[in-house]
Structure 1
Amino acid sequence: MPAPSGLPGNSRTLRAHRRRPLTALALTLAAATLLTGCFAGTGTGTGAGADTGARSGPGSAGADGRLRVAMMQPPRSGLSPLTDDAFKLSRWSTAETLVRLDRDGNAEPALATDWRQTGPTWTFTLRDDVTFHDGTPLTAEAVVRSLTTAAKASPKPRILDGVTLTARATGPRTVTVTTGTADPLVPQRLSSPQLSILAAKAYRGRTVNPVGAGTGPFVLVRAEGTASATLDRYDAYWGGRAKAAGIDVRYVPDGTARAAALRAGEADIVEAVPVSQARLLDPELVTEVPMPRTNTLYLNTRTGPFRDPALRAAAREAVDARALVAGVYEGRADVAGGLLGPALPWAAELRAPVRRPHAPAAPRGATVTIGTFTDRAELPEVAQLLQQQLEKAGFTVKLDVREYAAIEADALAGKFDAFVLSRATVLDSGDPAAYLYSDFAGDGSFNIAQLADPAVDRALAAATGTATGDSRRRAVIAAEAAVLATDAAVPMLHERVIQGDAAHVVDAAHDPRERELVTVDTHVR
Structure 2
Amino acid sequence: MRHRSSTALAACALLLTGCFAPGAEPSDGRIKLAMLQPPRSGLTPFSDDAFKLSRWSTAETLVTLDAAGDARPGLATGWRRISQHAWEFTVRPGVTFHDGTALTSAAVANTLTRATTASPKPRILDGVELTAEPAGDAVVVTTAAPDPLVPQRLSSPQLAILAESAYRADGEVDPVGTGTGPFRLVAVNGTTTATLDRHDGYWGPKAAAEGIDVSFVPDGTARAAAIRSGEAHIAEAVPVSQAALLDRATITEVPMPRTNTLYLNTKTGPFRDQGLRAAAREAIDAAEIVRGVYEGRADVAQGLLGPALPWAAAGRTPLADRAEATAPAGVAITLATFSDRAELPEVASVLQQQLQDAGFTVTQVVREYAHIEEDALAGKFDAFILSRATVLDSGDPVAYVQSDFTCAGSFNIAQLCDGEVDAAVRTAAATEAGDQRRAAILAAEAAVLRTDAAIPMLHERVIQGDATSVVDSAKDPRERTLITASTRLR
The normalised TM-score by structure 1 is 0.91
Structure 1 residue 122 corresponds to structure 2 residue 87: yes
1:74 is aligned with what amino acid?
A: P
Among candidates 434, 456, 462, match of residue 399 of structure 2: 434
Q: Out of 22, 29, 38, which is 1:65 matched to?
A: 29
Aligned partner of 2:468 among 503, 522, 525: 503
- C-alpha distance 182-374 of structure 1, shift in aligned 2 (>3 A): same
Contact 1:4 1:252 in 2 (8 A): no
Question: Which residue of the other structure, out of 45, 54, 70, is the alignment partner of 1:90?
Answer: 54
Task: Decide whether the 8 Å contact of 1:32 with 1:264 is kept in 2.
Answer: no
Read off the aligned partner of 1:36 and give its amino acid letter: T
Q: Take 1:105 and 1:124, find their aligned partners in 2: how far apart are those partners?
A: 19
Cα offset for 1:290? 0.1
- Cα offset, 1:37, TM superposition: 3.9
Amino acid at match of 2:384: F
The match for 2:157 among 193, 199, 204 is 193
- Per-residue CA shift, 1:249-291, capped at 9, x if unaligned? 0000000011011111000000000000000000110000000
User: Using the alignment, how far apart are the partners of 1:229 and 1:31 within structure 2?
Assistant: 14
Distance change (3 Å), C-alpha of 1:317 and 1:127: same
Measured in 2, the distance between the counterparts of 1:135 and 1:292 equals 37
**In structure 2, what residue type is equivalent to 1:340?**
L
SS at 2:169's partner residue?
A: coil
Q: Equivalent residue of 1:244, what SS?
A: coil
- Supply the distance in 2 between the matched residues of 1:89 and 1:387 (Cα, whole angstroms): 36
Work out whether 1:521 is the aligned partner of 2:489. Answer: no
- Does 2:251 match 1:286? yes
Aligned to 2:442, which of 458, 463, 477?
477
Q: Does 1:305 align with 2:286?
A: no
Match of 1:385 among 350, 371, 380: 350
CA deviations 1:424-447 (Å, max 9, x no partner) are 000000000110000001000000
Note the C-alpha offset of 1:484.
Answer: 0.1
Q: Give me the whole-angstrom Cα distance separating, in 2, the residues matched to 1:122 and 1:258.
A: 43
| Cα distance in 2, alignment partners of residues 236 and 32 from structure 1 | 35
Secondary structure (helix, strand or coil) at the match of 1:420 reads strand
Q: What is the match of residue 140 of structure 2?
A: 176
Output the CA distance in 1 between the equivalents of 2:18 and 2:474: 25
CA 1:138–1:412 in 2, change beyond 3 Å: closer, same or farther? Answer: same
Alignment check: 8 A CA contact 2:19 2:193 kept: no
The secondary structure found in structure 2 opposite 1:362 is coil
1:324 corresponds to which letter in structure 2? Answer: I
Equivalent residue number for residue 246 of structure 1 = 211
Q: Is the 8 A contact 1:232 1:247 kept in 2?
A: yes
Amino acid at match of 1:90: S
For 1:412, which of 370, 374, 377 is the aligned residue?
Answer: 377
Do the aligned residues in 1 keep the contact of 2:14 with 2:219 (CA within 8 Å)? no
Q: 1:38 aligns with which of 3, 7, 19?
A: 19
Supply the distance in 2 between the matched residues of 1:31 and 1:232 (Cα, whole angstroms): 23
- 1:204 aligns with one of 161, 164, 168: 168
Structure 1 residues 125 and 32, CA, compared in 2 at 3 Å: closer, same or farther?
closer
Q: Find the partner of 1:261 among 194, 212, 226.
A: 226
Q: What letter is aligned with 1:311?
A: L
Q: Is 1:493 matched with 2:458?
A: yes
Match of residue 237 from structure 2: 272
C-alpha separation in 1, matches of 2:432 and 2:26 = 47
The corresponding residue for 1:47 is: none
DSSP-derived class of the 1:247 partner: strand
Instruction: Using the TM superposition, give the Cα deviation of residue 311 of structure 1 relative to its aligned residue in structure 2, in angstroms.
Output: 0.1
Report what 2:389 is aligned to.
Answer: 424
Matched length: 484
Q: CA deviation at 1:39?
A: 1.8
The residue type equivalent to 2:39 in the other structure is P
Q: Quote the residue 1:54 is aligned against.
A: none
Q: Distance in 2 between matches of 1:448 and 1:269?
A: 32
Q: Secondary structure of 1:116's match?
A: strand
2:13 touches 2:218 (CA, 8 Å); kept in 1?
Answer: no
Cα distance in 2 for residues equivalent to 1:3 and 1:511: 32
SS at match of 1:460: helix
Equivalent of 1:105 in 69, 81, 85: 69
2:330 maps to 1:365? yes
Alignment partners' CA distance in 1, 2:229 and 2:323: 53
Q: Cα distance, 1:64 vs. partner?
A: 1.0
Deviation by residue 1:139-196 (Cα, 9 ceiling, x = unmatched): 011001100000111210110011000000111x110000011100000000000001
User: Take 2:88 and 2:133, find their aligned partners in 1: how far apart are those partners?
Assistant: 10
Distance (whole Å) between structure 1 residues aligned to residue 258 and residue 108 of structure 2: 31
Looking at structure 1, the residues matched to 408 and 257 of structure 2 have their Cα atoms a distance apart, in angstroms, of 23
- Distance in 2 (alpha carbons) for counterparts of 1:32 and 1:66: 21
| CA-to-aligned-CA distance 1:56-84 (integer Å, 9 cap, x gap) | x21x5132100000000000000000000
- Partners of 1:424 and 1:410 in 2: how far apart? 20
Residue aligned with 2:32, SS: strand
Structure 1 distance, partners of 2:364, 2:233, is 35
Q: Residue deviations 1:68-107, cap 9 Å, x none? A: 0000000000000000000000000000000000000000
Tell me which residue corresponds to 1:79: 43
Q: CA deviation at 1:32?
A: 8.6
CA distance in 2, matches of 1:62, 1:481: 52
Partner SS, residue 517 of structure 1: coil
Assess if the C-alpha contact under 8 Å between 2:12 and 2:19 holds in 1: no
Query: Is 2:208 the counterpart of 1:227?
Result: no
Question: Aligned partner of 1:489: which letter?
Answer: A
Q: Distance in 2 between matches of 1:476 and 1:202?
A: 36
Question: 2:306 aligned to 331, 341, 356, which one?
Answer: 341
Q: Runs of 4 or more off by more than 6 Å in structure 1?
A: 30-33
Shift in Å, 1:4 = 9.0
What is the identity, as a one-letter code, of the residue corresponding to 1:219?
R
Q: Please give the alpha-carbon distance, in whole angstroms, between the structure 2 residues aligned to 1:196 and 1:127.
A: 14
Distance 1:352 1:81 in 2: 38
Unaligned runs of 5+ in 2: none
Using the alignment, how far apart are the partners of 1:397 and 1:234 within structure 2?
52
Q: In 2, are the aligned partners of 1:356 and 1:486 still within 8 Å (CA)? A: no
Q: Distance in 1 between the 2:291 and 2:476 partners?
A: 25
Q: Any idea what SS the aligned residue of 2:221 has?
A: helix
RMSD: 1.5
1:447 aligns with 2:412: yes
What's 1:20 paired with?
none
TM-superposed CA distance for 1:33, in Å, is: 7.4
- The alpha-carbon deviation at position 240 of structure 1 amounts to 1.6
SS at match of 2:425: helix
Displacement after TM superposition at 1:514 (Å): 0.1
Matches of 1:179 and 1:32, distance apart in 2: 45
